[in-house]
Amino acid sequence: MKEEAEYCGIDVSLKSHTVCLMDKNQRVIKKYSIDNDRKGFEKLENDIDENTKTCLEPTGVYSVNIFIYFKQKAYDIKFCGTKSAADFRKSMFNKKKHDNLDCIALAKYRIVNEDKTFDGIKFMDRLSSENSNLPDIGYIALSDLLNQYARKIKLTSSIKNMLKNIIDLRFPEAIQVFPHDRGCKTILKALAHSKEDILRGKVELIKSQEIKNKLSNSIGQYDLKISDFKYYVKELEKLEAEIKILRKSAKEQLGSKGYSSMFNFCGLDTINIAILITEIRDIRKFFRYSKNGRLNKKRSLKTFKEFMGISVTSNQSGNREGAHKLAKSGNAKLRSILFMMALTYISMHPKKESVSEKDLDPYRLKMLYEKFVKRGKKKLVAVTKVMNKIATDLFFILKEVSGNIEKNLINSNNQA
């Protein structure tokens, strides 16, 4: 059996690995599971030799030990790209997926795509670096703060909906006085008092006369749910105070990390900046270098935009090219921020002046949108063009900020 195993696919996991052995005719001769320990590795070692072409995915730390074990014994073991292996498995088994099929696909991958496999030297070098995987506690704290903020916002929305239901019961005509927000602070203040006090003018309110007129002939059950209403109003005020504190804490953390200059740009508030920083983190991970060692801005910018979700794809059939649209790849949070920023700049009315070269210039972005609309492009296409330009500006803004942070750190270390 040992001589018959020409190819081997290993689907790795935490507790055990699934193994598939094939002969030279690409026929499955053995398929079994081994424990992720020395006995399991020795069991596999009895069925393969140094010439057996073995393939596995670089699945984080799970694949390290088995790779090192057989590599040190001079076995022919190589890694394959995770995405490439997933695409290959789909082409073989459509949408089916389980360990038994994965190990077969990995063995076949080594047969069909030998040129796409790699020996894992770079992968091992990355793991051997002592400091490469240390998390930045500052980013973790900021990310945790954003999670708290999101939970508070969600709870605030739920409480506002409950309050609106109570308002519809007690004072359904409120929507006629405040068409855009019947749960505004004026209505909340009004319904905290008795009906008689409002009608007698003892409570000072915005649109007081309109509220009196509607309340005097109201069909609502004003005396119901009073205690529930006051409880939800108190909880809402408490949540809004906590949200304000969280926003202040986020701003302080961003300032301490050297990102205070980003507050000067339009279309970016504290939370959006915090999301950008926690999702992108070190802008240098997008840097791509040419053979001469210089930064390749075009490739770096392309990588950054793909991460931001500004990757354009098209539907094609034969020689016919279909409509272009944004791909579903990339970070959805960042793409949403870019979209809202683009709408902000489009709705602005900046002073008419010569177009400046500074990043995130409102007049220049507004002109860019109007230029594409005048050409007959759809408004959504023009918005996408503005999003693309904003992503370009953000790349160079973050690049400059990162450089300034690094310089300040070096200066502080030298002074120390």
Domains of the chain, start order: 7-128 (3.30.420.140), 137-257 (1.10.287), 295-314+323-402 (no CATH)
Cβ–Cβ contacts within 10 Å for residue 173, how many?
19
∠ CA 41-43-49 to the nearest 5 degrees? 85
Average pLDDT over residues 28-47: 94
Residue with tokens 């005719």, as numbered in its chain: 25
177 to 85, 187, 188, 229: CA distances (angstroms): 61, 9, 13, 19
Say how far apart CA 8 and CA 104 lie, in whole Å: 8
Q: How many CB atoms lie within 10 A of CB 84?
A: 14
Q: What are phi and psi of 158, to 5 degrees?
A: -65, -45
Proportion of the chain above pLDDT 70, given as a percent: 88
CA-angle at 400, arms to 398 and 357, nearest 5°: 95
Residue 66: pLDDT above 60? yes
Mean pLDDT for the chain overall = 87
Q: What are 363's two structure tokens?
A: 């007049």
Give the tokens for residue 274: 């915090």
CA–CA–CA angle 23, 28, 29 (5° rounding):
70
- Sort strands 53-56 and 7-11 into parallel, antiparallel or unpaired: parallel
Reply yes or no on whether the pLDDT at 322 is more than 60. no
Going by pLDDT thresholds of 50, 70 and 90, the confidence category of residue 105 is very high
Q: Which amino acid is at 60?
A: G
Q: What is the pLDDT of residues 138-173, one digit of tens each?
A: 788 899 999 999 999 999 999 999 999 999 999 999
Helix axes 379-415, 270-280, angle to 10 degrees: 70
Whether pTM > 0.85 for this model: the answer is no
